[in-house]
Structure 1
Amino acid sequence: GAEDNLTGVIDLLDRKAYTFVGNFGENITEVPMPEDMVEKVEKFRAELVEKAVECDEATMEKYLGGEEISVEELKKAIRKGVIENAIYPVLCGTALQNIGVQFALDYVNEFLPSPLDVPQVDATDVADPEKKTPIKADDDAPFVGLAFKIATDPFVGKLCFVRVYQGVLKSGSYIVNASTGNKERVGRLVRMHANHREEIKEIYAGDIAAVIGLKNTTTGNTLSDESSPLLLESITFPEPVIKIAVEPKTKVDQEKMGVALARLAEEDPTFRVETDEETNQVLISGMGELHLDIIVDRMRREFGVEANVGKPQVSYRETITQTAEAEHKYAKQSGGRGQYGHCMLRVEPAGEGQGYQFLDEVKGGVIPKEYIPAIEKGVKEGLLSGVVAGFPMVDVKVAVYYGSYHEVDSSEIAFKMAAIFAFKDACQKAKPILLEPIMKVEVTTPEDYMGNIIGDLNSKRGQIEEMIDRPLKIKAIKAKVPLAEMFGYATSLRSMSQGRANYTMEFSHYSEVPRNVLETIKEKTAK
């Protein structure tokens, strides 16, 4: 069957058909193969065998020799291919009635690599960052684990999901968070089975469990034995690309909203919460419209907070395209001790994705060392509000190379102010540009609607990169489109395709905003 008539699956490996009966597909029954599918099964099985034997030389020789390949030999060859990233088995089914889900879990167990099959990872010694220590799945070695997910449980509070890379983690033991240096106590260990928790005393190398009782651990932190703190490679999270204002509907909601947003931000590192100092609005940022819709929905369902939501705002960025220099002398005299700070700054593009870099190139003590941090502080403040339209600046290299000071009147605040003005002046001269987030979009549609959808993407300043043919006259369109043009796209796509097309979207990169669009954005931000 297919779609809402799906009743079972056929396992190509053992040529058997199975049906799933019951509300949750709990009654699995082997049934005779449908006659109209016998030929198709043999065709696809032959293709499967051909691909599988390519992964194992001994099985390949046997196959070329005309011998029959047993199911066990096929499974062994497929497992080898999966571990080497040579093949990717595809399983079918539906989670709605659990049809085929049991087989998917069985094959996860049979084909996917165990911790012993995974290539060895290296950890960094906290005491000596140059020293690399190999981590192996060994229960007798000192404990090293990675906190990869934080979840909030209404009954036990914060759950921290940990994957043990080496050693054993025991409940009641003390460990160190190597990422922050904080000492933590493991209160309880639980193994999660969907919404059911099973209390356990210890977990071994390769295991995953949830830890209750960790106070200062967040996603991506490395946990390790107190005797030898080691640091695993952290998880890198993309910066949010969309921002909306939220406000509670009632006074009661206001009190609960702060707690709810703090909990959700702790769970999701790509979700941020901030307060706009000018408007006093609470702004939430995330990876897309759907991401923030889900956050607002979870606030309502899990925390009982009703909120009004503003229009989405794109997280634009600014950068510079040339090298430029500027100086500023900040001098104030108003009776008594004055203020004096003087610095010369050079700004230059740091390259895409390189972030902000600060260099101290002052020679001969023309600016005392104690004022250099104040200059950097001023530069960092200047980065928060760019010179094109007031958006944060990225990928800028800043060097302080000359200046002067007054023995009595110079102070940190004076040098900070001088740095802010010098930085703004230098950026104005360095041909600043506005950057907008570009999204990777993939639209899947019946080919009847393809023309309209491509035309619509082009009108949104989109660049069509690829069109792929899928079975049953379905087309996949891959494109890069500015996020600013994608608001409300789900609704317009439904109306263009009578509800039959769907799309996925993820952040790709930042790109320069065209001049005609820049003027519109400047007008909006000036209001």
Structure 2
Amino acid sequence: MAGNVRPRGTEAFEQVTPDRIRNVVLIGHAAAGKTTLVEALLAGTGAVSRAGRTEDGTTVCDHEDIEHKLGRSVSLAVASVAVEGVTGAVKVNFVDTPGHADFVGEVRAGLRAADAALFVVSAVDGVDGITRMLWEECASVGMPRAVVVTHLDQQRGDFDEALAICQRVFGEGVQPLYLPLLGDDEMPAGLIGLLSQKIFDSSSGTRVEREADPQHIELIETLRQSLIEGIIQESEDDTLLDRWLGGEEVGFDTLVEDLEKAVARGSFHPVLPVDALTGLGVPELVEVILRGFPSPLEHPLPTVTTPDGSPREAVECDPAAPLVAEVVKTTTDSFVGRVSVVRIFSGTLAQDMTVHVSGHFAQFAGSDRGHPDHDVDERVGAVSTILGGSLAPVTRGVAGDIVAVARLSRAETGDTLSAPSAPALMEPWVMPEPLLPTAVTARTSADEDKLSQGLGRLVAEDPTVRVEVNPDTRQMVVWSMGEAHLEVLLDRLRSKYNTEVDTQSVKVALRETFAKAASGHGRHVKQSGGHGQFAVADVEVEPLPEGSGFEFVDKVVGGAVPRQFIASVEKGVRAQMERGVGAGYPMVDLRVTLVGGKAHSVDSSDAAFQMAGSLALKEAAAAAGVALLEPIDDVRVVVDDEYVGTVMSDMSTRRGRVTGTTSVGNGRSEVAGEVPAIELTRYAIDLRSLAHGTGAFTREYVKHALMPQHQVEKVLAAAAG
């Protein structure tokens, strides 16, 4: 395969059809060079000048300001280009995704929007755990993949080592199509084509094609045999392998045709060296995209139902079919308002048409995370092709395309757009659970008014965010994917929604109970002219087994406490239990027995006996001592086998109890345990360090259990001081 593409103007976007679309997502760890590669691809096709800028100076792969502050991409970005290939004009939608583990939700959205993936691997840093897991995820659904090796111009850049790592980590079907041709300074100066056996020399500044040099022949022949064998093994012609093994020469055109089919099926994964700064390898990569990657017509389509879950006809990648599309990203523009990036799976989406917006996140995720169900008809604004930081208006988007739609005020990321006459609901992609909690408070009263609205917009934009008000601690808690994700969220609140917040440590919902049985005497007597207040209540309190709740027993004899005030004592006890008696946490699992008391014919009242009941409970607690119950979570950690021991040891240091380990395949295991929730506040951050980014975990509340006394003393001291 040899690069021979010519750029087309944006007018080609108006005539695009599903067979002339390629949707490609770029995946790789942070600093692998994905964004720079997209800019090089656009520059190589003539869509933009170098440095990723359009003729008017707009940055094509522009993300948000926060990305420039952090020095990394933090959100999905789309850049489209029309290219004249061998068989005609093709629109390529490049979906650039973040490489940081905190933003894997954006990567999953990119996988849903795309039909093929480019895995970008640094020749310096190799493959990280997140990239490997995403490769396995793509493999599980048969998504076509190719590998681009970058950073070959850096001193430690080693293509051979990077190739060996990819073949070891990614498995079968990973083979190089080209090798870098090194110049006198040991920097890439061209490419060596293994199939064509040609040299593509760019050392003079102009790409020159020539026959292979004698010193390259042996290397070409060695790797070419392995490449041809890999292609033939994937050929649909069952006789080809036997013929080749029998010594028959296989024609170049046959090899290329079989290669393209194998790539499109997701069973063969070509590796290409690319120098994004000089454009070396870009034409070859573009041709792999045009000829090897499938169109939307060849990619499996998601299953849809009606919004109420009833069966519905299958989706067809046909512009004439009923509309079914999905919002893969939501953002807010200061001039346009809300902008939705939409992948169209079926039908046609045109400006000013009315669409049905359907969002039922809780139906699939098990919790709404702040996304209430909604079904509403809305009229779309402008439809545009996306050039990263700019939008090019078009009259419509067709099945298979990715476009931007303005002014869908109710649409959230993950929502389904469909024809109002045939409403549809598509199961959203798998959203990772946010596991890093942070309490936030508005900085000023003015911010207080804007906080709920700002957080609501963040939730609509990013399904990996969850916002909740803890009913026990009354803290507003933002759940994020990690520190970098949290930093981005707070910056968006500040810069986009003009809301300043302060962060606090998250309080864990503890419970209080009695350490042992005790008695309490509550006496409430006041006399200050007129009717006074008089009530005495004597109680016995004993702790109950976990989960028993609260029992109130009346054992008053002789009318010491009049019948009408028995309920008043219970009411006072319950109120004090809600407030707690030690650290201010609710009390649970108690039996309180009213055994006696005194009343006054004039001064006793409901309020007085409520106070007496409260005081009696507090005195009993002082005598018995307060025990604290802490929530225990069932924790499931999936890590590479080499980190199992580390995770188990760390779980023990968190006062956890390991309950088992299970192999889950692909060199990974699940470690299960029960861990106090108070020890898990920053576990999302700590696990990433422990397992070098390869770990993932889930947590679920199991029970409350007694907290060790030394921990109780710390909590009580903090509450007192």
Is TM more than 0.5 here?
yes
Tell me, in whole angstroms, the C-alpha distance in 1 between the residues paired with 2:710 and 2:227.
Answer: 54
Identity of aligned residues (%): 26
- Is the contact between residue 632 and residue 705 of structure 2 (CA under 8 Å) also seen in structure 1? no
> Which runs of 5 or more residues in structure 1 are unaligned?
317-323, 339-388, 391-431, 444-449, 469-475, 494-501
Instruction: Please name the residue that 1:152 is paired with.
Output: 332
For 1:62-461, list aligned pairs within 5 A: 63-93=244-274, 100=281, 103-119=284-300, 121-126=302-307, 129-179=309-359, 180-247=374-441, 258-276=452-470, 281-299=475-493, 307-311=501-505, 434-441=632-639, 457=647, 459-461=649-651
Letter of the 2:632 counterpart: L
Deviation track 1:380-438 (CA, whole Å, cap 9, x = no partner) reads xxxxxxxxx99xxxxxxxxxxxxxxxxxxxxxxxxxxxxxxxxxxxxxxxxx9832444
- Is the contact between residue 53 and residue 60 of structure 1 (CA under 8 Å) also seen in structure 2? yes
Tell me, in whole angstroms, the C-alpha distance in 2 between the residues paired with 1:112 and 1:138.
Answer: 19
Instruction: Please name the residue that 1:29 is paired with.
Output: 207
Instruction: Please name the residue that 2:162 is paired with.
Output: none
Deviation track 1:175-227 (CA, whole Å, cap 9, x = no partner) reads 21244331111111011122121101111111111111212112222221122
Instruction: Please name the residue that 2:34 is paired with.
Output: none
Query: How has the CA–CA distance of structure 1 residues 525 and 290 changed in structure 2, closer, same or farther, with 3 Å as cutoff?
Result: farther
Tell me, in whole angstroms, the C-alpha distance in 2 between the residues paired with 1:249 and 1:21.
Answer: 59
What's the secondary structure of 1:158's corresponding residue?
strand
Tell me, in whole angstroms, the C-alpha distance in 2 between the residues paired with 1:30 and 1:282.
Answer: 63
Query: How has the CA–CA distance of structure 1 residues 433 and 285 changed in structure 2, closer, same or farther, with 3 Å as cutoff?
Result: closer
Tell me, in whole angstroms, the C-alpha distance in 2 between the residues paired with 1:175 and 1:124.
Answer: 16
Per mean C-alpha deviation after superposition, the further-off stretch among 281-290 and 293-302 is: 293-302
Tell me, in whole angstroms, the C-alpha distance in 1 between the residues paired with 2:507 and 2:284.
Answer: 44
Tell me, in whole angstroms, the C-alpha distance in 1 between the residues paired with 2:419 and 2:436.
Answer: 39
- Is the contact between residue 241 and residue 437 of structure 1 (CA under 8 Å) also seen in structure 2? no
Instruction: Please name the residue that 2:120 is paired with.
Output: none
Tell me, in whole angstroms, the C-alpha distance in 2 between the residues paired with 1:53 and 1:281.
Answer: 62
Instruction: Please name the residue that 2:693 is paired with.
Output: 504
What's the secondary structure of 2:297's corresponding residue?
coil
Tell me, in whole angstroms, the C-alpha distance in 1 between the residues paired with 2:703 and 2:201.
Answer: 56
Letter of the 1:503 counterpart: H
- Is the contact between residue 152 and residue 274 of structure 2 (CA under 8 Å) also seen in structure 1? no
Query: How has the CA–CA distance of structure 1 residues 4 and 458 changed in structure 2, closer, same or farther, with 3 Å as cutoff?
Result: farther
Q: Give the superposed CA RMSD.
A: 5.2
Tell me, in whole angstroms, the C-alpha distance in 2 between the residues paired with 1:520 and 1:65.
Answer: 78
- 1:161 shift after superposition: 1.8
Find 1:55's aligned residue among 225, 234, 237. Answer: 234
Letter of the 2:650 counterpart: K
- 1:165 shift after superposition: 1.7
Larger relative contact order (CA 8 Å, sep ≥ 6): 2
Equivalent pairs counted in the alignment come to: 400
What's the secondary structure of 1:172's corresponding residue?
coil
Does residue 4 of the first structure (1) align with residue 154 of the second (2)? yes
- 1:283 shift after superposition: 1.8
Query: How has the CA–CA distance of structure 1 residues 71 and 254 changed in structure 2, closer, same or farther, with 3 Å as cutoff?
Result: farther
- 1:289 shift after superposition: 3.6
- 1:29 shift after superposition: 3.3
TM-score normalized by structure 1?
0.59
- 1:489 shift after superposition: 4.4
Tell me, in whole angstroms, the C-alpha distance in 1 between the residues paired with 2:493 and 2:200.
Answer: 41
- 1:4 shift after superposition: 1.3
Tell me, in whole angstroms, the C-alpha distance in 1 between the residues paired with 2:506 and 2:206.
Answer: 47
Letter of the 1:116 counterpart: L
- 1:67 shift after superposition: 3.8
Deviation track 1:2-22 (CA, whole Å, cap 9, x = no partner) reads 461465455544445557899
Query: How has the CA–CA distance of structure 1 residues 304 and 480 changed in structure 2, closer, same or farther, with 3 Å as cutoff?
Result: farther
Tell me, in whole angstroms, the C-alpha distance in 2 between the residues paired with 1:211 and 1:521.
Answer: 58
Deviation track 1:449-493 (CA, whole Å, cap 9, x = no partner) reads x9xx8875553239797999xxxxxxx998859866746549977
Query: How has the CA–CA distance of structure 1 residues 228 and 18 changed in structure 2, closer, same or farther, with 3 Å as cutoff?
Result: same
Tell me, in whole angstroms, the C-alpha distance in 1 between the residues paired with 2:433 and 2:709.
Answer: 24
Query: How has the CA–CA distance of structure 1 residues 77 and 284 changed in structure 2, closer, same or farther, with 3 Å as cutoff?
Result: same
Letter of the 1:133 counterpart: E
What's the secondary structure of 1:4's corresponding residue?
coil
- Is the contact between residue 329 and residue 340 of structure 2 (CA under 8 Å) also seen in structure 1? yes
Query: How has the CA–CA distance of structure 1 residues 258 and 459 changed in structure 2, closer, same or farther, with 3 Å as cutoff?
Result: same
- Is the contact between residue 440 and residue 478 of structure 1 (CA under 8 Å) also seen in structure 2? yes
Deviation track 1:331-354 (CA, whole Å, cap 9, x = no partner) reads xxx99xx9xxxxxxxxxxxxxxxx
TM-score normalized by structure 2?
0.45
- 1:290 shift after superposition: 3.7
What's the secondary structure of 2:692's corresponding residue?
strand
Query: How has the CA–CA distance of structure 1 residues 506 and 15 changed in structure 2, closer, same or farther, with 3 Å as cutoff?
Result: farther
Tell me, in whole angstroms, the C-alpha distance in 1 between the residues paired with 2:250 and 2:508.
Answer: 57
Tell me, in whole angstroms, the C-alpha distance in 2 between the residues paired with 1:254 and 1:231.
Answer: 35
Tell me, in whole angstroms, the C-alpha distance in 2 between the residues paired with 1:514 and 1:35.
Answer: 73
- Is the contact between residue 331 and residue 338 of structure 2 (CA under 8 Å) also seen in structure 1? yes
What's the secondary structure of 2:226's corresponding residue?
helix
Query: How has the CA–CA distance of structure 1 residues 86 and 308 changed in structure 2, closer, same or farther, with 3 Å as cutoff?
Result: same
- Is the contact between residue 435 and residue 510 of structure 1 (CA under 8 Å) also seen in structure 2? yes
Letter of the 1:123 counterpart: V
Query: How has the CA–CA distance of structure 1 residues 68 and 522 changed in structure 2, closer, same or farther, with 3 Å as cutoff?
Result: farther
Tell me, in whole angstroms, the C-alpha distance in 1 between the residues paired with 2:331 and 2:198.
Answer: 40
Query: How has the CA–CA distance of structure 1 residues 465 and 435 changed in structure 2, closer, same or farther, with 3 Å as cutoff?
Result: same
